[in-house]
Amino acid sequence: DVKVTQSSRYLVKRTGEKVFLECVQDMDHENMFWYRQDPGLGLRLIYFSYDVKMKEKGDIPEGYSVSREKKERFSLILESASTNQTSMYLCASTQGAPNEKLFFGSGTQLSVL
């Protein structure tokens, strides 16, 4: 089975801190995605990547950046955390064919105080 691993289940950070969320997948998937989940808003796409060192903005990229130095690893960076970035962050991956199902990690619940 595909495994998508997010390094932290829970994180508590202070406003203004730089935050790194790490995601690793073990199935050689081409595509990786970062979503955030908020009550009443569903899952919203922050950034995605179709290849190493490649990134594209999703629907809500403001305040975030990403890094994909290796195929299996996709990092989400909050340059200066703010309280409105308190959320559940979900990483996902797919092989690369269009319309494939997403494989998700367990999520990181980030609280910014």
Partner 1 sequence: DQQVKQNSPSLSVQEGRISILNCDYTNSMFDYFLWYKKYPAEGPTFLISISSIKDKNEDGRFTVFLNKSAKHLSLHIVPSQPGDSAVYFCAASAYTNAGKSTFGDGTTLTVKP
Residues that bind partner 1 (CB under 8 A): 4, 9, 31, 33, 35, 40-45, 48, 50, 58, 90, 92, 94, 96-107
CB 47 → partner 1: shortest distance, Å? 11
**Contact (CB, 8 A) for 108 and 8:** yes
Query: Of 79 and 89, which CB lies nearer to partner 1 in the complex structure?
Result: 89
CB 3 → partner 1: shortest distance, Å? 11
